C-alpha cells in the first residue's frame, strides 16, 4: 500500500521530512528497535530505524564515501580497522576499496539490521562475505574496552544519540576508543548537522578535543537527513586530515559517486559562525 512517510525527529522544532512511498516492503521489531524498509517514489529503497531515516539508495554514497575515504586517505597504512554500527554494510563496502586493509571488524548490536540489509540492499552489504571481515554482534561501547593499541582506524557509523546509540556519544566511550587505537590511530564518527545541532556538537567536541591531539569537523550533503547535510568528527593521535592527505590514494579509488580529492579538502571548510563555536570550546 502506498502512502507518505514522515520523520518526526525534529517535529518539536517545527520541521519534519515527508517522503512518498510506493510500498512498505517490510516492518520488523527486533530486540533493539523497529526496522522498516520502504520503496519510495523519489529515492528508491529506504531504511528506517524507529521512524528515523538511516539511508536511501539515492544518497547513501554521499554519507558512506565520506565517512570511510577521508580517514583511509589520511592514514598511510590502515591494516586493522573497526566499524561500530554500520549494519547496512555501506561503510564496510567503501572501506574494503582500500587494499591496505587486512582485518576489518564490524561491531553491530542488532543482527537483524544486517539480515534485512542483505535482503533488501545486497549491493551495500556484499562486504560482509569478504574473508577479511569478522562481525561481532555486541554493544560497541563494551567491545572497545577489550582492545588496546589494536586498530589504525575506527569508524563509529551510528544513528542519532537516542536509543541504542546514545552511549556512543559519551566521553567514557571515546576514552576507550583512544586506548583501542594504535599510536598513530584515527577515529571518525557521525556528528550531526552544524545547521541544526550545535548543542550536541559542542558537547561531543568538548571532550574529543581533550582526548585527541587532532580534532576537526567536516561534512557531507545528504538530502534525506535533517537540514540536508550531516557532519563527522575527525579525531587523530597524529595525522592532520589536510596536511597528511594522500592524493595518490584518492586518485586510484573506483566506483565513486560523491567523494574525490577536491571534496576531501572542501569538506573541512566551515561557516564562520560554526568555526567560532569550535574555537571557543
pLDDT at residue 170, rounded to an integer: 80
Give tens-digit pLDDT for 94-108: 999 999 999 999 999
Report the pLDDT value the prediction gives residue 277, as an integer from 0 to 100: 87
Strands 80-85 and 34-40: unpaired
Cα(234)–Cα(159) distance, rounded to whole angstroms? 17
Superfamily of segment(s) 60-279: Vaccinia Virus protein VP39 (3.40.50.150)
pLDDT for 65: 98
Mention the CATH class of domain 3-56.
mainly beta
Q: How far apart are CA 245 and CA 227, in angstroms?
A: 28
- Report residue 202 as a C-alpha cell: 559542542
Q: CA 71 to CA 109: how far, in whole Å?
A: 23
* Cell numbers representing residue 95 in the block: 572501506
**What's residue 42's pLDDT?**
98
SS3 call for 47? strand
| Segments of the chain scoring below 70 in pLDDT | 159-169
pLDDT in tens, 146-161: 999 999 999 999 866 5
Strand partners for 261: none
Domain 3-56 and domain 60-279, same fold? Reply is: no
Active-site residue, selected from the candidate residues 59, 88, 110, 157: 157
Q: Where are the domains of the chain?
A: 3-56, 60-279
> Cβ contacts of residue 12 below 8 Å, gap of 6+?
none
Active site residue 157: yes
pLDDT of 280: 87
pLDDT of residue 167: 56
Burial zone of 49 (CB within 10 Å; 0-12 exposed, 13-18 middle, 19+ buried):
buried
Amino acid at each position: 500500500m502506498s502512502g507518505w512517510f514522515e520523520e518526526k525527529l525534529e517535529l518539536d522544532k517545527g520541521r519534519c521530512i515527508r517522503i512518498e512511498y510506493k510500498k512498505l516492503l517490510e516492518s520488523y521489531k527486533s530486540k533493539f528497535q523497529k526496522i522498516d524498509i520502504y520503496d519510495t517514489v523519489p529515492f528508491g529503497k529506504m531504511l528506517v530505524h524507529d521512524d528515523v531515516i538511516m539511508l536511501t539508495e539515492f544518497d547513501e554514497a554521499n554519507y558512506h564515501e565520506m565517512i570511510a575515504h577521508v580517514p583511509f586517505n589520511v592514514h598511510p597504512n590502515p591494516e586493522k580497522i573497526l566499524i561500530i554500527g554500520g549494519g547496512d554494510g555501506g561503510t564496510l563496502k567503501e572501506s574494503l576499496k582500500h587494499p591496505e586493509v587486512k582485518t576489518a571488524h564490524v561491531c553491530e548490536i542488532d543482527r537483524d539490521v544486517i539480515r534485512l540489509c542483505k535482503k533488501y540492499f545486497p549491493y551495500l552489504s556484499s562486504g560482509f562475505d569478504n574473508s577479511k571481515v569478522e562481525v561481532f554482534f555486541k554493544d560497541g561501547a563494551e567491545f572497545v574496552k577489550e582492545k588496546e593499541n589494536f586498530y589504525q582506524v575506527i569508524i563509529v557509523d551510528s544513528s542519532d544519540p537516542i536509543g541504542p546509540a546514545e552511549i556512543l556519544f559519551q566521553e567514557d566511550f571515546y576514552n576507550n576508543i583512544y586506548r583501542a587505537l594504535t599510536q598513530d590511530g584515527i577515529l571518525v564518527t557521525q556528528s550531526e548537522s552544524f545547521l541544526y545541532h550545535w548543542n550536541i556538537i559542542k558537547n561531543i567536541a568538548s571532550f574529543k578535543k581533550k582526548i585527541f591531539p587532532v580534532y576537526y569537523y567536516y561534512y557531507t550533503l545528504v538530502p534525506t537527513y535533517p537540514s540536508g547535510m550531516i557532519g563527522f568528527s575527525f579525531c587523530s593521535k597524529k595525522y592532520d586530515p589536510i596536511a597528511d592527505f594522500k592524493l595518490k590514494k584518492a586518485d586510484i579509488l573506483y566506483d565513486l559517486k560523491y567523494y574525490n580529492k577536491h571534496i576531501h579538502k572542501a569538506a573541512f571548510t566551515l561557516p564562520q559562525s560554526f568555526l567560532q563555536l569550535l574555537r571557543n570550546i
